[in-house]
């Protein structure tokens, strides 16, 4: 007898804002070879991450987490738990819903163990990322496959694809944003998490398209199945079309970069300085790469970003909250799950295909 269930996976947060907990979390997160992938040697990467990056970063990150932490815990984790509960209520007896985090707790291994102990034979893995990036969507998919292979009992895993231009997702974004879009503003800044530019080229199995061809992201190419930049631009286009926002009223930028190499541009902090100088004094900011509000949206955008913008001469700044546990997002998730329960196969990108292609090329 088969028994089906849903597994939501998001990024995860430290267990607390203490420096040791933040450091443990950052060691796990940045120790992931799909997040910090250079140098190639695992030993050198461990020295770089555990010996240099996290000792310096943890105290700063701990302070940032203190700014957003609530009595219930990390906003990302707490909101994800609420999403799980609401989706489970919506689905009722149709399918149980589980939640795991790629880093920190509850870990993917512990939740998969519970899933099989509950007699589940088939899961729909729903990475909580609208866009493909090897450092977000792919690492979740690979980790679940690795941990599922270690289980004593077989578990069949099917995976929801990045949903960056799914009409229901765009509609959910629109429904949640609409009350803010009606506020008087000069510009909508659509800010996405940045990634190293190099990751675009590494995800391009042709090695001849991403950042190599002129206007690569605006051409139609199968490579865009694994192109983060092309996908975020498609989300933006679909959203502004749905919301009726003209080209001169919105702009895209990329936030949260590490030093050392070029990341996707334009950088959000530069845009926050530039816009008031060009007379865009009233600014709305939305962050569709994140389905739940988290450190990146609450501290970096709604906190620091607002201060930067006002300091640069802006008059008014409003961050549009993420989808969080709002009904339109729960409806979107439920719709995708019901399609699967009804027999539709989520077409799978071969996770790990990029890594295998690279290994073969070496």
Ligand X SMILES: C=CC1=C(C)c2cc3[nH]c(cc4nc(cc5[nH]c(cc1n2)c(C)c5CCC(=O)O)C(CCC(=O)O)=C4C)c(C)c3C=C
Would you give the distance in Å from CA 82 to the centre of its chain? 17
Q: Which does 216 bind (CB under 5 to 8 A by kind): ligand X, Fe ion, none?
A: Fe ion
**Nearer residue to Fe ion within complex by CB, 264 or 272:** 264
**Nearer residue to ligand X within complex by CB, 25 or 317:** 25
User: Do residues 314 and 74 lie in contact, with contact meaning Cβ atoms separated by under 8 Å?
Assistant: no
Strand partners, 73: 70
d(CA 165, CA 145): 25
Q: Does 57 bind ligand X (CB under 6 A)?
A: yes
Site for ligand X in 210-229 (CB under 6 A): none
d(CA 249, CA 185): 9
Q: Does 258 bind ligand X (CB under 6 A)?
A: yes
Q: If 0-12 CB within 10 Å is exposed, 13-18 middle and 19+ buried, where does residue 223 land?
A: buried
User: Do residues 332 and 169 lie in contact, with contact meaning Cβ atoms separated by under 8 Å?
Assistant: yes
The angle formed by the CA atoms of residues 250, 251 and 254, to the nearest 5 degrees, is: 145
Q: Does 54 bind ligand X (CB under 6 A)?
A: no
Q: Please indicate if the annotation marks 296 as binding a ligand.
A: yes
Tokens linked to 226: 């694994």
Q: Does 7 bind Fe ion (CB under 5 A)?
A: no
Q: Does 61 bind ligand X (CB under 6 A)?
A: yes
Nearest distance, CB of residue 264 and Fe ion, angstroms: 10
Site for ligand X in 113-132 (CB under 6 A): 129
Question: How many Cβ atoms from other residues are within 10 Å of residue 136's Cβ?
Answer: 24
Nearest distance, CB of residue 100 and ligand X, angstroms: 15
Q: Does 135 bind ligand X (CB under 6 A)?
A: yes
Which residues belong to the annotated binding site for Fe(2+)? 193, 296
Interface positions with ligand X (CB under 6 A): 11, 13, 35, 57, 61, 74, 76, 129, 133, 135-136, 193, 195-196, 256, 258, 289-290, 294-296
Binding residues: 193, 296
């Amino acid at each position: 007898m088969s028994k089906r269930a849903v597994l939501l996976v998001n990024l995860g947060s430290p267990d607390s804002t203490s420096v040791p907990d933040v450091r443990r979390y950052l060691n796990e997160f940045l120790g992931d070879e799909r997040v910090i992938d250079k140098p190639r040697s695992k030993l050198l990467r461990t020295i770089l991450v555990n010996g240099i990056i996290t000792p310096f970063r943890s105290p700063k990150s701990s302070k940032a987490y203190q700014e957003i932490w609530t009595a219930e815990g990390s906003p990302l984790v707490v909101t994800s738990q609420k999403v799980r509960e609401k989706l489970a209520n919506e689905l009722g007896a149709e399918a149980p819903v589980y939640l795991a985090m790629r880093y920190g707790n509850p870990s993917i291994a512990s939740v998969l163990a519970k899933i099989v102990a509950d007699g589940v034979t088939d899961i729909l893995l729903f990475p909580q990322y609208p866009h493909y990036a090897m450092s977000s969507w792919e690492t979740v998919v690979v980790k679940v496959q690795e941990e599922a292979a270690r289980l004593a009992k077989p578990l069949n895993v099917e995976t929801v694809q990045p949903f960056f231009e799914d009409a229901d997702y765009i509609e959910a974004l629109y429904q949640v944003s609409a009350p803010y879009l009606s506020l008087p503003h000069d510009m909508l800044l659509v800010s996405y998490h940045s990634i190293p530019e190099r990751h675009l080229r590494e995800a391009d199995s042709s090695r001849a398209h991403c950042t190599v061809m002129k206007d690569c992201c605006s051409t139609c190419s199968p490579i865009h199945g694994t192109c983060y930049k092309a996908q975020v631009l498609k989300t933006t286009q679909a959203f502004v079309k749905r919301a009726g926002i003209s080209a001169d009223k919105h702009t895209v930028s990329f936030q949260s970069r590490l030093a050392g190499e070029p990341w996707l541009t334009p950088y959000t902090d530069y845009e926050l300085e530039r816009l008031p100088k060009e007379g865009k004094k009233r600014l709305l900011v939305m962050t569709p790469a994140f389905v739940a509000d988290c450190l990146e949206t609450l501290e970096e955008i709604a906190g620091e970003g607002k201060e930067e913008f006002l300091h640069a001469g802006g008059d008014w700044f409003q961050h549009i909250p993420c989808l969080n546990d709002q009904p339109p997002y729960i409806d979107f998730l439920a719709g995708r799950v019901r399609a699967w329960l009804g027999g539709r196969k989520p077409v799978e990108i071969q996770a790990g295909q990029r890594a295998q292609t690279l290994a073969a090329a070496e």
